Amino acid sequence: MAKVELTPLRSWSDFFPGSERFSKPDDKDPARWNNRVVSNLLYYQTNYIAIELLRSRDFWCLNPEGMFAALALVSAVFLGSVWAAENQDAMSSFKRVNPVAFGIGLAVTSYILICMLGSVIWFLSAIILPLALILAHASYRLRNMKNKVENKIEAVGLKRSPMGIFLQALGEQEEKLIKIQNYLEEKLKD
């Protein structure tokens, strides 16, 4: 098994090249849109981590207790739901059949728990807004050839990254791996 490596920080001209490399995703083909988002999340993960860290830095300095409480709660809910999904057949099948509902349930549960601590403003400002920007970039940024090659290497298992592990925990890469496996098997038969 390949060791976990953080992808290199992509240059600004690659990360945000101009309007010609951005396009509205095709909402009539959610599989293609999902593939674009997953590919961009894997390829630009270091840039996305940097955005999140820079954005939340001020909030950590202003209210470290609130940020720590919000982060601990969200992490606990996420890890608990992943554990529940992996260890209980009903949760696992629900996650596979309804990944959007599973994600929404996870978000709602996190929101309710954070409201109980009064850290909602800090959490929304420091974590959710940058995540929304990241998902918008991942949705609108067209993939380039380097992006596609890097993702194939990650999907085959020659390289592992933190985002790949995270997405694997969410079950988003299973379909891509099956497609690549079928493609490789088909090529080996020829």
Q: Is residue 183 part of a domain?
A: no
| DSSP 8-state code for residue 4 | B
Q: Is residue 117 part of a domain?
A: yes
Give residue-wise pLDDT tens across range 13-56: 887 777 777 888 887 888 888 888 888 888 888 888 888 888 87
For 55-75, b where at least 16 C-beta lie within 10 A, e where not — what string? Answer: bbeebeeebeebbebbbebbe
Average pLDDT over residues 116-122: 67
Q: Is residue 33 part of a domain?
A: no
Q: Is residue 19 part of a domain?
A: no
CA–CA separation, 13 and 145 (whole Å): 15
Range of the domain at 78: 45-140
Q: Is residue 95 part of a domain?
A: yes
Give residue-wise pLDDT tens across range 139-181: 888 877 777 787 777 766 667 777 777 777 766 555 665 666 6
Q: Can you read off the two tokens belonging to residue 186? A: 């088909």
As a residue count, the chain comes to 190
Beta-bridge mates of residue 141? 22
Q: Is residue 134 part of a domain?
A: yes
CA–CA separation, 18 and 105 (whole Å): 36
Q: Can you read off the two tokens belonging to residue 82? A: 């992943």
Average pLDDT over residues 87-98: 77
Count of structural domains, the chain:
1
Q: Is residue 26 part of a domain?
A: no
Top pLDDT among 48 and 77 is at 48
**What distances in angstroms separate CA 96 from CA 89, 92, 159, 165, one per listed residue?**
11, 6, 25, 17
